């Protein structure tokens, strides 16, 4: 029978399985080594990306930016760490603020301080919460040798409308007699008629019985100096007092001169504290009242005068005696004309401030306290008899006046200090060890030592006339060892 019309017979299932197993396998096409970016990747084969690691597809410029930023952060951290661990007597907060000012962050610090002091201003009214105790160590016996000395100061009047508390404005002799007379007096008085719960401190010093020394700090003014950054041990027995100096040199708008070396530049017109070879000192305007002469051993400038009498008398240490024109607050002091008195806090922010002046007799007076603006500081100093005055440092951390005495006379190891104002921040023994900031030490004169003179060439005010001399004298340039400091 032919094949036509034959009905196809289905292949049994087990035969089909046999055929599938016996057929030659078809070769699969070769795999493409390049993975398909569209194909999903198996979770088990995904590459781990470590946190913080830049992917290889990250642009090169971004890698450079991140690297530079990391290096910058490292540099700042190292610099800040060194500032915090530096060997000095500053607190952590003081070190942080100093580091910020040294690294172009001064305006930020200024704004923070301005905000803080403005929102924490001293209260108005009230009475002091403590008494003004009489000093039990006043006028201890000393050498009996008679030395010329200035007449004692007049009492300091209290502000208008204020009823004085016990001992307010009354000068009390402090320390050993020198040449048979008290060489230093201190008192306390309300700063103004508004902040009557506060007490400011004043110290009157006789440059005919005392000598003055300018000491550099370990960080201010910077550099290497012949004088130590503390009162030397061999001078501690003669130490009567010590007080803070001016602003940091980058903010002082002036220079620092000591034993032939200058930091910055001595600026004509700057308020200047000047020390002479004989140990006497005065306050005046550089180029008018005081100039560079062979007898000048130290100059500390800070801003402009806050009290000025136009020049002339008083003479150095009041010798010869002369009639000095009265001082008045400097023109523009209240609104800080031309930034002459700095811009850290402005003149009207009430903070701890300090200043030093010369009186009409040639005595020196230091004043400081809380709740003071530049104008109220000048008014406080005028009540103490000042005719020319300069502002020194400000803020509680930097204002200090300590008196010193030895438990065993002549033994430097027994010398300890006492604060003029108990509210001041730094301790009573400040300046007996190295200090970060420059300062002025006050010591007794030896009866056989040099006495203040006003011989020609001392750089002191000219011999007196009843009319003050106002014509400025151009000072010769001094040799500087570093570039001019920046003003604020």
Residue-level pLDDT at 257: 98
What pairing do the DSSP bridges indicate for beta strands 386-394 and 239-244?
A: unpaired
pLDDT band at 285 (very low <50, low <70, confident <90, very high): very high
Residue-level pLDDT at 121: 73
pLDDT band at 448 (very low <50, low <70, confident <90, very high): low
pLDDT band at 63 (very low <50, low <70, confident <90, very high): confident
Residue-level pLDDT at 455: 45
Residue in 214, 294, 228, 223 with CA at minimum distance from that of residue 263: 223
- For helices 60-85 and 92-102, the axis angle rounded to 10 degrees is 130
Across 395-414, b (16+ Cβ under 10 Å) vs e yields bebbbbbbbbbbeeeeebee
Average pLDDT, the chain: 81
User: Domain coordinates of the chain in residue numbers?
Assistant: 60-119, 172-444
Could you report the per-residue pLDDT of 22-38, keeping only the tens digit for each? Answer: 555 555 555 555 666 56
pLDDT band at 52 (very low <50, low <70, confident <90, very high): low
Residue 389 has pLDDT above 90, yes or no: yes
Residue 40 has pLDDT above 90, yes or no: no
The position carrying tokens 């009475």 is 127
pLDDT band at 172 (very low <50, low <70, confident <90, very high): very high
Higher pLDDT, residue 401 or 345: 401
**Which percentage of the chain shows pLDDT scores above 70?**
67
Residue 138 has pLDDT above 50, yes or no: no
Residue-level pLDDT at 267: 98
Q: Which of 25-29, 111-115, 179-183 has the lowest mean pLDDT?
A: 25-29
Residue 97 has pLDDT above 70, yes or no: no
Phi–psi pair at 177, nearest 5 degrees: -70, 140
Residue-level pLDDT at 10: 55
Higher pLDDT, residue 111 or 322: 322
Residue-level pLDDT at 51: 55
3-class SS string, the chain: CCCCCCCCCCCCHHHHHHHHHHCCCCCCCCCCCCCCCCCCCCHHHCCCCCCCCCCCCCCHHHHHHHHHHHHHHHHHHHHHHHHHHCCCCCCHHHHHHHHHHHCCCHHHHHHHHHHHHHHCCCCCCCCCCCCCCCCCCCCECCCCCCCCCCCCCCCCCCCCCCCCCCCCCCCEECCEEECCEECEEEEEECCCCCCCCCCEEEEEECCCCEEEEEECCCCCCCCCCCCCCCCCHHHHHHEEEEEECCCCCCCCCCCEEECCEEECCCCCCCEEEEEECCCCEEEEEECCCECCCCCEEEEEECCCEEEECCCCCCCHHHCCCCCCCCCEECCCCCCCHHHCCCCCCCCCCCEEEEEEEEECCCCEEEEEEEEECHHHHHHHHHHCCEEEEEEEEECCCCCCEEEEEECCCCCHHHEEEEECCCCCCCCCCCCCCCCCCCEEEEEECCCCCCCCCCCCCCCCCCCCCCCCCCCCCCCCCCCCCCCCCCCC
10 Å CB burial of residue 457 (0-12, 13-18, 19+) is: exposed
Higher pLDDT, residue 451 or 280: 280
**Could you tell me if 384 and 223 are in contact, meaning their C-beta atoms sit under 8 angstroms apart?**
no
Q: Which residues contact 45 (CB under 8 A, 6 or more apart)?
A: none
d(CA 486, CA 248): 10
**Could you tell me if 300 and 438 are in contact, meaning their C-beta atoms sit under 8 angstroms apart?**
yes
Residue in 382, 398, 394 with CA at minimum distance from that of residue 342: 394
d(CA 144, CA 357): 29
d(CA 220, CA 225): 11
Residue-level pLDDT at 481: 36
d(CA 174, CA 151): 15
Could you report the per-residue pLDDT of 311-369, keeping only the tens digit for each? Answer: 999 999 999 999 999 999 998 888 776 677 766 555 568 999 999 999 999 999 999 99
d(CA 243, CA 61): 55
Residue 279 has pLDDT above 90, yes or no: yes
Residue-level pLDDT at 211: 98
């Amino acid at each position: 029978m032919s094949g036509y019309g034959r009905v196809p017979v289905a292949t049994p299932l087990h035969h089909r399985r046999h055929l599938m197993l016996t057929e030659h396998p078809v070769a699969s096409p070769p795999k493409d080594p390049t993975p398909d970016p569209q194909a999903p990747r198996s979770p088990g084969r995904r590459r781990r990306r470590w946190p913080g690691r830049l992917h290889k597809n990250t642009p090169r410029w971004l890698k450079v930016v991140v690297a530079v930023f990391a290096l910058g952060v490292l540099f700042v951290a190292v610099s800040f760490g060194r500032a915090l661990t530096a060997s000095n007597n500053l607190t952590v907060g003081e070190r942080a603020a100093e580091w910020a000012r040294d690294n172009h962050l001064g305006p930020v610090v200024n704004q923070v301080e301005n905000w803080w002091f403005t929102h924490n201003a001293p209260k108005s009214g009230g009475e002091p919460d403590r008494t003004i105790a009489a000093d039990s160590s006043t006028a201890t016996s000393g050498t009996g040798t008679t030395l010329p000395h200035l007449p004692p100061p007049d009492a300091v009047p209290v502000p208008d409308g204020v009823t004085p508390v016990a001992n307010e404005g009354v000068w009390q002799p402090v320390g050993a007699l020198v040449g048979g007379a008290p060489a230093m007096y201190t008192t306390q008085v309300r700063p103004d008629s508004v902040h009557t719960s506060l007490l400011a401190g004043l110290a009157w010093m006789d440059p005919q019985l005392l000598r003055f020394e300018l000491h550099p700090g370990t960080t201010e003014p910077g550099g290497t100096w012949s004088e130590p950054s503390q009162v030397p041990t061999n001078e501690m027995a003669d130490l009567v007092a010590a007080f803070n100096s001016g602003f940091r040199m980058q903010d002082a708008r002036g220079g620092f001169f000591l034993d032939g070396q200058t930091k910055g530049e001595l600026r004509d017109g700057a308020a200047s504290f000047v020390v002479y070879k004989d140990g006497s000192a005065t306050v005046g305007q550089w180029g008018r009242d005081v100039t560079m002469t062979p007898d000048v051993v130290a100059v500390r400038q800070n801003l402009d005068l806050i009290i000025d009498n136009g020049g002339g008398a008083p003479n150095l240490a009041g010798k010869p005696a002369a009639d000095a024109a009265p001082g008045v607050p400097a023109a523009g002091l209240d609104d800080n004309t031309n930034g002459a008195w700095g811009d850290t806090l402005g003149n009207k922010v009430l903070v701890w401030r300090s200043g030093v002046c010369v009186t009409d007799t040639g005595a020196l007076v230091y004043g400081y306290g809380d709740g003071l603006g530049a104008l109220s500081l000048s008014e406080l100093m005028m009540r103490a008899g000042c005719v020319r005055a300069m502002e020194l440092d400000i803020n509680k951390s930097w204002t200090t006046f300590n008196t010193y005495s030895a438990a065993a006379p002549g033994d430097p190891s027994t010398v300890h200090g006492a604060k003029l104002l108990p509210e001041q921040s730094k301790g009573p023994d400040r300046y007996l060890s190295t200090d970060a900031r420059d300062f002025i030490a006050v010591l007794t004169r030896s009866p056989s030592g040099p006495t203040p003179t006003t011989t020609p060439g001392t750089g002191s005010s000219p011999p007196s006339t009843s009319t003050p001399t106002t014509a400025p004298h151009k000072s010769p340039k001094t040799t500087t060892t570093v570039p001019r400091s920046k003003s604020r």
